[in-house]
């Protein structure tokens, strides 16, 4: 059955400028997804203090080789969405600026700000990219505050300090987590300026952030979208008021793809509850996380990513392209570990398989 997604929305409704149709949930998703491309190669930084019209920013971006390399993570339609958004009457009037990017062995962070014609700002945080550093940060969310969260908090404060007006803050995947974290930890004067915080299938938090006073002050302005069987948006402590939406993704991973989310009008197709498959698999993964204390989660993460680093790969794409050599390097690194650490790793992996198996075996059917 045919369905509309955010790209269809852009082609059908992109003719309506913001002065005619107000900012909507699908606009938010489009701006969040566009944040995945490497704007740091084209858009002025926060320190520069300059802005580029959307079409000029895309022209500068597309002059760089491999700007549209999607790797294993970025949805393949993202480059098309970026180009078509810049050409549309709806998004063409936007300006882009305040681009920040930090990438090292422990941190993957990127953000930019869109200035809308009505004077409001949309701060978009990039989700996890193809880098192993980005995935290590995602694992680390379960036991600590990660560098990207601190950078997101500082980014929101700096943009708000420099530019007046109302703010929207959002992102997809880890970008959604960063948006919520930054908003909740911002100074009260900044929080009052926030119109909305949107987490598009972003993971939750290692501790229950929803019980804090700052979160409660923002609660009616925080919106979390989670597809009916997606795993990512149900990880860790999540807002129980998350809005469940229809996705046509073929798996829990496929449903995380924002181009699989069904669009109706200016919003997403709502559902009354999560699917049985989604609940089983999420419960299985959460059971594994809960079976380890924070110190064990950190130990698993450090050892696991040190093994991957033995392959000399820096991205998932590099890891998959040379999978035979990578696998040999990882196995050799594992064999060199002290016996007690090898035992711990096997124990952690066994727990994962044990927790997931009932969800997989019991969820062969099943939405």
Q: What is the DSSP code string of 102-133? A: EESSS-EEEEEEEEPTTS-EEEEE----SBHH
Give whichever of 45-49, 55-59, 235-239 has the largest mean pLDDT: 55-59
* pLDDT(2) > 80: no
Distance from C-alpha of 235 to C-alpha of 241, rounded to nearest angstrom: 14
Place of tokens 């923002």: 218
Which phi and psi (to 5°) does residue 14 adopt?
Answer: -65, -10
Please calculate the CA angle 81-27-177 and round it to the nearest 5 degrees. Answer: 95
Distance between start and end Cα atoms, the chain = 16
Token pair belonging to 26 = 């699908």
Give the pLDDT confidence of 300-324 residue by residue, as tens digits.
Answer: 888 877 777 777 777 767 666 766 7
- From the number of C-beta atoms within 10 Å of its C-beta (0-12, 13-18, 19+), residue 284 rates as buried
> Residue ranges per domain, the chain?
6-274, 283-362
Beta bridge partners of 169: 123, 197
Looking at the domain that runs over 6-274, which CATH code has it been given? 3.40.50
Average pLDDT, the chain: 87
Give the pLDDT confidence of 225-263 residue by residue, as tens digits.
Answer: 999 988 777 777 788 889 999 999 887 778 889 999 999
Query: Half-sphere exposure (CA, 13 Å, Cβ side) for 106?
Result: 9
* pLDDT(19) > 90: no
- Answer for the pair 14, 93: CB distance below 8 angstroms, yes or no: no
Give the pLDDT confidence of 150-205 residue by residue, as tens digits.
Answer: 999 999 999 999 999 999 999 999 999 999 999 999 999 999 999 999 999 998 88
Which phi and psi (to 5°) does residue 98 adopt?
Answer: 55, 40
What is the pLDDT at residue 164?
A: 94
């Amino acid at each position: 059955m045919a369905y509309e997604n955010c790209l269809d929305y852009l082609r059908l409704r992109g003719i309506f400028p913001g002065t005619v149709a107000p900012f909507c949930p699908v606009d938010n998703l489009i701006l969040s997804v566009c944040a995945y491309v490497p704007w740091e190669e084209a858009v002025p930084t926060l320190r520069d203090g300059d802005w580029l019209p959307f079409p000029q920013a895309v022209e500068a971006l597309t002059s760089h080789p491999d700007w549209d390399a999607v790797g294993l993570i970025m949805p393949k339609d993202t480059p098309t969405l970026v180009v078509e958004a810049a050409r549309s009457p709806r998004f063409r009037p936007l300006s882009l600026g305040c681009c920040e990017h930090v990438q090292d062995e422990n941190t993957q962070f990127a953000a930019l700000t869109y200035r809308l014609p009505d004077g409001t700002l949309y701060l978009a945080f990039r989700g996890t990219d193809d880098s192993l550093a980005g995935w290590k940060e995602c694992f680390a969310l379960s036991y600590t505050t990660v560098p990207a969260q601190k950078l997101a908090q500082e980014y929101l404060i700096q943009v708000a300090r420099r530019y007046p007006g109302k703010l929207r803050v959002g992102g997809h995947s880890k970008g959604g987590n960063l948006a919520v974290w930054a908003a909740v930890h911002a100074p009260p004067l900044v929080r009052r300026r926030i119109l909305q915080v949107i987490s598009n299938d972003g993971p939750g938090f290692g501790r229950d952030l929803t019980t804090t006073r700052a979160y409660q002050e923002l609660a009616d302005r925080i919106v979390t979208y989670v597809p009916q069987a997606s795993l990512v948006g149900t990880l860790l402590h999540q807002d129980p008021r998350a809005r469940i939406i229809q996705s046509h993704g073929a798996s829990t991973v496929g449903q995380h793809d924002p181009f699989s989310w069904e669009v109706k009008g200016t919003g997403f197709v709502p559902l009354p509850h999560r699917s049985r498959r989604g609940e089983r698999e999420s419960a299985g993964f959460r059971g594994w996380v809960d079976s380890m204390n924070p110190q064990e989660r950190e130990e698993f993460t450090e050892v696991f990513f040190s093994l991957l680093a033995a392959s000399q790969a820096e991205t998932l794409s590099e890891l998959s392209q040379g999978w035979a050599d990578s696998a040999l390097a990882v196995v050799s690194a594992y064999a060199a570990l002290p016996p007690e650490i090898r035992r711990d790793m096997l124990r952690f992996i066994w727990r994962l398989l044990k927790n997931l198996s009932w969800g997989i075996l019991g969820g062969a059917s099943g939405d």
